[in-house]
Structure 1
Amino acid sequence: YLGPVQMRRGNWEQSAASYEKSFKLNPRSPGTAHFTGLIYERMRIYEEAVDWFDGALSIEADYIWSQFGKVRVYYLSNGDTEKARALLEILPPHRFNDYWWILNGMLERNFQGVLGRLDSLSYDVAEGEYFNFYKHLAYAMVYQAMNNQSLLKTHAEEARIALEEALREHPEDSRIHTSLGLAYAYLGRKEEAIREGKRAVSLYPQSKDAYGAPHYVNSLAMIYTVVGEYEEAINQLEYLMSIASGDIVSIPVLRLD
């Protein structure tokens, strides 16, 4: 039980040691092997992370979370989106498979492929622990990259309407604040976008959860980028590079992006 507590507190080396000790006591637990890999991924020790993900998969071949861990490591460690895509293509249908496929497609500038994937989705919203997926927001992201201002605004406005309603029901949810911030950013509502991004960070600070908090800092960097505040975006990314956030940002993935 020490591993998760140490992880949330940002005691990464101690957390890794605790998970490894737990694994020795229960060497048939794919979850323990996987979380050990996550800690090494967070610390940007990617080769060790892959070893643990492979260890989890040797116990349970269909353990999807370690498959996704390997997908991330392929592009985070050396920008290998081709390997990431090859693995995603053989994995079973899953909402997180859709998410990573879309992200990998954006890194590859395969915008038409991403649009096709979005068109095929049977759902509009998918909840994650530290982020929510909104189809209209994803469309807006693609159309911004394609410089299609008309469709960008159309989808961003649809996302804004849904997110403002969601925020009224869940005013303390950082996932909604950060998504609404991006919707505002795509609509050119700069001050509101930055406000929502900062609100997400303040609701979920590093002191609360060192594992979850960097996700919101990364989203704030995205918001700053969309609204043209590049120095502020760089400041957020430099902060992320100074801490353990290797499952979110790395030098190779920044070069791709």
Structure 2
Amino acid sequence: MNLPVAEKSIAVLPFENRSEEKQNAYFADGVQGEILTDLAKVADLKVISRTSVMQYKSGVQHNVRQIGQELGVAHVVEGSVQRSGNRVRVNVQLVDARTDRQLWAQTYDRNLADVFAIQSEIAKAIATELDAKLSPNEESEILRPPTNDITAFDLYTRARQFFSTPTFNVNSKPNLLEAVDLLNQSVARDPSFFRAYCQLAFVHDALYFYGHDHTPARLALAETAIQAASGLSPDAGELHLARAWNLYWGYLDYDGALAELEVARRTLPNDPQILFLTSLIQRRQGHWEESIRTFERAAELDPRNFAVLQSIAGNCATLGRYAEQQRWLGRVLALEPNDAATRVILASVDFERKADTAPLHQMIESVRATNPAAVPNIDDWWLHCALAERDAAAARNALATMGKDPIDVGHDVYCTRPFMEGVIARIAKDNDKAQSAFTEARAEQENVVRAQPNFGPAWCVLGLIDAALGHKEEALREGRRAVELLPVEKDAVRGPAMIKYLAMIAAWVGDNELACQQLASAIRPPHTVTYGQLKLLPFWDPLRGDPCFEKLVASLAPK
């Protein structure tokens, strides 16, 4: 897919690591990343984001013309970094991607301590070569080093690898915790490292939002990092962006977050995070069409970011527009034909829309056979497909791949392993095993709720467990508490999901009337439950045969 090209547009490709120590690849990425960051602050340039360009990191020679067409840029920067002892050599060239003609090149061979000055000089030289207008503030930002401590910079660069990915993988607890550790080491080395504090706040907020540690203590850590960053550079765009994430993830304060993004945009004109976060907020506000349009604008700056394209596809799915969802997923596969997660999501459309598991089952088996390393990226779909097919053995195999990580049961609602073992035991008709597993799950989930008393998803999982154990009144109270904590008006994504889980709890305790009443709300677009889920998943088995439930299911059947 070829994109429109602006004259003053550029992509800074990953730099080759020519150091003997291969661990210096992080350092090469860091040098390239800082040059990209500096150029991205120039409003007169269009700069492609780091997420999209990092996919061209390989040992093969770049086809500059093809890359220019794929990213929609007129110019490409290539380079290499060689670090040896206290010396560093950086080779860099600016190429016209339309003609493959070199416009500028330079080699810098200096002391390692000068690497940040080199980065600034390169960014300024490229901006000058492209005849970009630099404001005094933009020029001072380019000349300001991120840190003067090489080790702190290495630690920061390594931490970024965990979430600056095409899939925006910020809900992986192990990755987030490792990033926190690296960033803490970074700011300990250099307490004046502004960008490291911004990233540290982002990671703490992600741990809080996704329920891995939805506690006041975790939120306080995020705010401490923001305060440290504010003391160093109170007017920087990155600080306002960090505050926006904090207000969104930490408080669901959408208006406050949008106001911070408006300020951030003034000094971060090429940062696709601003548009990406704006889209996420619009979705939480229930502005689904507006969210799609903003995601599309983000894709212009980040054309190879799977998270952006998959988010558009997700919006379309929630609105019941499956053909559009398939088209957007097709765009991801056009960029990366072997992306297992996207192939499986595309195959799942027939499950959601038609209650047909065959394409999904076949695709999962194909990934398992041909790309076993990718199975952890699709294990949640494998588990759901097995549950829909009542295949307890396959479900146990899928669960085994998940290790001890929390299991996403849908809409960022996470359960523990014993809970899912109980669900699997139920479909295997092993009631003793189910009772034992749910009893163990309850003890674990009670601790989760005690630590996170104001987190709706934790309450709805506790409600499901109590429903499975026959504790009717407690289960319904807990399900209603989840709905109270996350009403639709507060969160148009997870709010409807809380209603869905209350319906599930009601079904499990035998209150069919309440279950159908809640489901009637949950199935209205934008919906959190699909025809395939209601038709096939065992969670809804207690309602099968109920006329009201069957009518609701039939209303979702493909026309």
- Please state if 1:164 is matched with 2:417: no
Alignment partner of 1:47 is 2:328: no
In 1, distance between residues paired with 2:343 and 2:482?
29
- Equivalent-residue separation in structure 1 for 2:406 and 2:346 (angstroms): 25
CA deviations on 1:226-251 (whole Å, 9 max, x unpaired) are: 11111211112111112302xx3222
1:251 maps to what in 2?
531
Q: 1:165 to 1:35 in 2, by over 3 A?
A: same
Residue 5 of structure 1 aligns with which residue?
281
Alpha-carbon distance in 2 for matches of 1:120, 1:216: 27
Structure 2 stretches lacking a partner, 5+ long: 1-274, 538-559
The 1-side partners of 2:347 and 2:475 are apart by 30
Asked if the contact 1:57/1:63 (under 8 Å) is kept, the reply is: yes
Per the alignment, residue 296 of structure 2 pairs with 20
- Equivalent positions of 1:170-249 (< 5 A) are 170-245=452-527, 248-249=528-529
Gaps of at least 5 residues in structure 1 are none
Report the residue type matching 1:195 in the other structure: R
Contact 2:411 2:493 in 1 (8 A): no
Mapped contact 1:185–1:226 kept (Cα < 8 A):
yes
Which aligned pairs between 1:143-162 and structure 2 lie closer than 5 A?
143-162=425-444
2:413 pairs with 1:131: yes
2:284 touches 2:492 (CA, 8 Å); kept in 1?
A: yes
TM-score (norm: length of structure 1) = 0.88
Q: CA shift at 1:48, angstroms?
A: 0.6
Written as runs of structure 1 = structure 2, the 5 A alignment for 1:10-159 is 10-24=286-300, 26-61=302-337, 63=339, 66-89=342-365, 90=367, 92-94=374-376, 97-119=378-400, 121-123=402-404, 125-126=406-407, 130-159=412-441
**Aligned match of 2:105:** none
For 2:348 and 2:413, locate their aligned partners in 1 and report how far apart those are by CA, in whole Å. Answer: 16
User: Of the two, which has the highest radius of gyration?
Assistant: 2
Does 10-19 or 45-54 show the bigger shift? 10-19
Q: Residues 51, 172 of structure 1: CA spacing in aligned structure 2 closer, same or farther, 3 A cutoff?
A: same
- SS of the residue corresponding to residue 375 of structure 2 reads coil
Change (3 A) 1:20 1:180: same
* Secondary structure in 2 matching 1:254: helix
Distance across 2 between alignment mates of 1:231 and 1:50: 35
| Matched letter for residue 7 of structure 1 | R
Shift in Å, 1:29: 3.2
- Give the whole-Å Cα distance in 1 for the aligned partners of 2:339 and 2:502: 32
How far is 1:163 from its partner?
0.8
Q: Which amino acid aligns with 1:98?
A: D
Contact 2:348 2:357 in 1 (8 A): no
Alignment-mate amino acid for residue 350 of structure 2: Y
Are residues 81 and 124 of structure 1, via their aligned partners in 2, closer, same or farther at CA, if it must alter by over 3 Å?
same
Q: Which structure shows the higher helix fraction? A: 1
2:360 and 2:399 map into 1 onto residues whose CA distance is 18
Deviation, 1:71, is 4.4
CA RMSD of aligned residues (A): 2.3
Query: Residue 182 of structure 1: SS of its match in structure 2?
Result: helix
Which letter maps to 1:134?
Answer: T
Q: Distance in 1 between matches of 2:327 and 2:459?
A: 36
Q: Which whole-Å CA distance do the structure 1 matches of 2:443 and 2:304 have between them?
A: 47
Partner deviation per Cα, 1:188-235 (whole Å, 9 max, x = no partner): 001111111111111111111112222222211111111111121111
Q: Classify the secondary structure of the residue corresponding to 1:249.
A: coil
Contact 2:318/2:525, CA 8 A, preserved across alignment = no
For 2:316 and 2:525, the matched residues in 1 are separated by 13
Could you say which structure has the higher strand fraction? 2
Could you tell me how far apart the structure 2 residues matched to 1:172 and 1:72 are? 33
Structure 1 residues 129, 225: closer, same or farther in 2, change over 3 A? closer
Contact preservation (8 Å) 1:38, 1:69: no
Residue 17 of structure 1: SS of its match in structure 2? Answer: helix
Higher alpha-carbon deviation: 34-43 or 105-114: 105-114
Q: 1:166 to 1:29 in 2, by over 3 A?
A: closer
Q: Matched residues in 2 for 1:163 and 1:108: separation?
A: 27
- After superposing on structure 2, the runs of 4+ consecutive aligned residues of structure 1 that deviate more than 6 Å are none
Residue aligned with 2:454, SS? coil
